[in-house]
Amino acid sequence: MQNKEDYRALEARYYMPAFSRDLMLVRGEGSRVWDADGKEYIDCVAGIAVCSTGHCHPAVTRAICEQAKRLIHCSNLYYVPGQAELAQKLVEKTGMAKAFFSNSGAEATDGALKLARVRTGRKKFVAFTHGFHGRTIGSLAVTHKPAIREPFEPLGIPATFVEYGDLDGLKRAVDADTAGVVVEPIQGEAGVIIPPDSFLEGIREICDRSGALMIVDEVQTGMGRTGKWLAIQHTRVKPDIVMLAKGIASGFPMGALLAREGLEFRKGEHGSTFAGGPLACAAGLATFKVIEEVLPSVPEKAERFRTALSSYSPRVRGLMVGMTVGDRCAEVQKRCAERGVLVNCAADGNLRLVPPLVISPAEIDRACAVIRDALS
């Protein structure tokens, strides 16, 4: 392994500079990671809500290695080992009817937009301010942040944005050509913004009245992150389409689209070379089992974060924690890293913690002590 400075120079020479980064992580185990200098961190970023089973969970690593020895890829021209089993598990836990896999969250969003268009025959979408749904041309059309969307316009998908929480605005924005309303049940990239249940229930009603589909983006909130398989399961709302990714396969690239009864792609309408391949499904099945085991512990861990950070008015739903820190956010992130805790600044000066679901009470206490120190 080269040292970080050499690596930085190599990257500057050969890799497109789309990211700003400083640390170089080389190893992980559970909720801990180590950088190239051997420094240890408690990881409250977890690859941005991806490594929910912790880093290199032995059951996940074993499943990937064993599958890699049997069959790495075979194409969706054939039945894929593990694909139907994982679909069954996701459908049963979420109350949806059918699944379709993708390679990422953005691709899951693209699939959702396609499914909504092809089954409703309508063209337009409504999404919300500060919402994030991905960076492909399709998913970007419903992603709000002008700085990342506008340079790539026109995107070819007519979408309008309504203030997150504004049901009257949504009523005005939805019309007879609206195929779907795309919403995060908790906004993640915006900094863990938790709406009242009445907002999500109101969207359901507006969709029911207009015939638009309710498309719930659970890419960040799904797979147990909030203490239930889906964040929408904290409410009484039944969505038409759900997107998953991030935590679904412990870091092996994978996403999924779930749809209610009666909504599905028909032959030839959608596809992908890699999506739902044998390795991803093996990682997904192993991940599913670990999450099933750890899920009951999430509410207690959430309370531990809430109590330990109570002076800073945290927004907590399961192991998704946001705190408004303001301009100091980057400095707080840096100070935490210096003291061995990784946290991340989401939008608008909001500190975001999305640690592995397997984080231990002792690790929570240690991380919160460092965060309090950095904030004080």
Across 179-201, b (16+ Cβ under 10 Å) vs e yields: bbbbbbbbbbbbbbbbbeeebbe
By the 8 A CB rule, do 125 and 113 touch? yes
109/350 with CB nearer ligand PLP: 109
Using CB under 6 A as the binding rule, the residues of this chain from 119 to 138 that contact ligand PLP are: 132-134
- Residue that the structure tokens 């795309």 belong to: 182
CB nearer to ligand PLP: give 30 or 251: 251
With CB under 6 A as the contact rule, the residue among 43, 189, 240, 363 that binds ligand PLP is: 189
106 binds ligand PLP (CB under 6 A): yes
Residues sharing a CB contact under 8 Å with residue 369, sequence separation 6 or more, in sequence order: 308
**36/26 Cα distance (integer angstroms):** 6
Q: Which position among 157, 170, 219, 286 is part of the footprint of ligand PLP (CB under 6 A)?
A: 219
Asked if residue 249 lies in contact with residue 280, where contact means CB atoms within 8 angstroms, the answer is: yes
43, 110, 184, 363: which one contacts ligand PLP (CB under 6 A)?
184
Burial status of residue 281 (CB atoms within 10 A of its CB: 0-12, 13-18, 19 or more): buried
Report residue 282 as tokens: 């093996």
Tokens 């919300």, residue located: 128
3-class DSSP assignment, residue 326 = helix
* Residue 190 or 282 having the CB closest to ligand PLP: 190
Q: Which region, judged by CB under 6 A, interacts with ligand PLP, from 17-25, 55-63, 103-111, 360-368?
A: 103-111
Total of residues contacting ligand PLP (CB under 6 A): 14
Q: Work out whether 188 is an interface residue with ligand PLP (CB under 6 A).
A: yes
Distance CA 172, CA 160 (A): 11
Q: How far apart are CA 19 and CA 211, in angstroms?
A: 40
What are the φ/ψ torsions at residue 75 (nearest 5 degrees)? 90, 150
Quick check: 104 binds ligand PLP (CB under 6 A)? yes
Q: How far apart are CA 312 and CA 350, in angstroms?
A: 11
Q: Contact at 8 Å (CB) between 364 and 30?
A: no
Window contacting ligand PLP (CB under 6 A); options: 27-35, 159-167, 213-221, 285-293: 213-221
CB of 38 to ligand PLP, least distance (A): 30
Interface stretch with ligand PLP, choices 26-34, 56-64, 100-108, 333-341 (CB under 6 A): 100-108
Rounded CA separation 371/345 (Å): 13
Q: Applying CB under 6 A, does 110 fall inside the site for ligand PLP?
A: no
Contact flag: residue 322 with ligand PLP (CB under 6 A): no
Residue 102 CB, shortest distance to ligand PLP, in Å, is 9
Q: Tell me which residue has its CB nearest to ligand PLP.
A: 105
Under the binding rule (CB under 6 A), the answer on residue 250 touching ligand PLP is no
Q: Work out which of 82, 125, 138, 217 binds ligand PLP, going by CB under 6 A.
A: 217
Query: Cβ 319 to ligand PLP, closest distance in Å?
Result: 15
Among 220, 226, 250, 350, binds ligand PLP (CB under 6 A): 220
Give whichever of 109 and 333 is closer to ligand PLP, judged by the CB atom: 109
CA distance 184 to 231: 9
Selected binder of ligand PLP within 28, 54, 82, 105 (CB under 6 A)? 105
Of residues 363, 368, 345, 303, the one with CA closest to residue 31: 363
Calpha distance 77→79 (Å, rounded): 7
Q: Which is nearer to ligand PLP, 217 or 240 (CB)?
A: 217
CB of 315 to ligand PLP, least distance (A): 16
* Bond prior to 154 in cis (omega within 30° of 0): yes
In order of 1, 53, 112, 178, the CA distances from 243 in angstroms are 37, 19, 7, 19
Instruction: Work out which of 63, 245, 323, 343 binds ligand PLP, going by CB under 6 A.
Output: 245
363 contacts ligand PLP (rule: CB under 6 A): no
Identity of the residue, 128 or 305, whose beta carbon is nearer to ligand PLP in the bound complex: 128
List of residues contacting ligand PLP (CB under 6 A): 104-106, 109, 132-134, 184, 188-189, 217, 219-220, 245
